[in-house]
Amino acid sequence: MFLTILVFILILSVLVLIHEAGHFFMAKKFGIKVEEFGFGLPPRIFGKKIGETIYSLNWLPIGGFVKLYGEDDAGAGRVKNSKLKIKSGNIGRAFFARPAWQRAMVIGAGVAMNFLLAVVIISYLFGVVGVGIPGNKVIVAGVAKDAPAYKAGFMVGDVIENINGVKIIDPGQLIEITKNHLGKNITVKIIRDSKEKILNIEPRKTYPTNEGPMGIAITQNVEIKKYPWYEAPIVGTKEALKNSWLIIEGLGTVVYGLFVQGALPKDVAGPIGIAQLTGQVVTMGTLATLSFVSLLSLNLAILNILPIPALDGGRLFFIIIEAVTRKKVNQRFEAWAHTVGMVILLTLIAVITVHDLIRVITGQPILPKP
């Protein structure tokens, strides 16, 4: 349990730090003053000022943060307000004083870094390790006793080469041909121990629901494919985009279930569920853990880009409004919106966490088995 918690915190911290690093480097690129880059969340353990930025280590070991100069101020029109500690000579380096497109890029850089991390991991798995893809061999994985296949002499491990002379390359093709020949004798060529063998079988018209016409379980071989270094990033980007869309669809299901049906979907997991799942994935090895980290990074990117106040997407939304209307959004209204958004997010996290705890207490799996 301790190891699971430690690994979960480590993974989460890395993902959040990479996210914050995006904000940090983009702000530096545009000359925006970065007051502090913190590892973990306050209270602070210690900090060291290098140049104009304080690099700090904080007590709560979850992620990190970047504090930008003038990040929460409305604009130059409010600089005269005595409550603001903005020196007139430094106004140009304040976040609020930069053009909308620069502020948008600073905010969006965190999301971009998380997406880029996922692409790098997936590209590594595809290009260096290799990825399993379906082959063109259909293999017998099981034979039901007294079924037609059992009587015909099928054995586990047989490779089904063809049926009535038709080459078989995937399970769907075999199932379709079998259904078209119910009650009729068919000739099946198999390969067993590198030798060809001909078997005759008559798929039955009536059969147990857990067996099928022939009474065999089939699977498809998996081949490890490695992409060349120049192709792996392209394939990795496509895979990241595909996974991102699946995550978006999943979020849509959560919102629909919560606000329309009044209940959370069974496969939704909060911090407790993700921590437990992390422990399960780690036991599967390094490659499975890397794949899991890429999915978490994509989740973090997508959640942050949503136009919800208090998140990067919410701040980006207000900047877009400003760019379109050419007028800054009222600072009090924006601050109020971010506060409400944070309350809603914390409430949702609390509900999901309680949902996780109930499943743990009742002995249910945190995530349903497939």
Which pLDDT tens digit goes with each residue over 16-72? 999 999 999 999 999 999 999 998 888 899 999 999 999 999 988 777 899 999 886
Residue 224 tokens read as: 């490890």
Where residue 162 falls among pLDDT bands split at 50, 70, 90?
very high
Residue 300 tokens read as: 């973090």
Domains and CATH numbers, the chain: 2-33+69-130+230-361 (no CATH), 133-225 (2.30.42.10)
Closest CA to 16 of 336, 304, 359: 304
In the prediction, which pLDDT does 81 show? 42
Question: What is the torsion angle, in degrees rounded to the nearest 10, for the CA atoms of residue 58, residue 61, residue 64 and residue 70?
Answer: -40
CA-derived radius of gyration, the chain: 28
Closest CA to 36 of 11, 47, 194, 287: 47
- Is residue 92 within 8 Å of 69, Cβ to Cβ? no
What secondary structure letter does DSSP report for 126?
Answer: I
In the prediction, which pLDDT does 79 show? 40
Q: What is the pLDDT of residues 59-75, one digit of tens each?
A: 887 778 999 998 865 44
Q: Is the dihedral of CA 105, 300, 67, 50 positive or negative?
A: negative
In the predicted model, what is the mean pLDDT of residues 147-173? Answer: 92
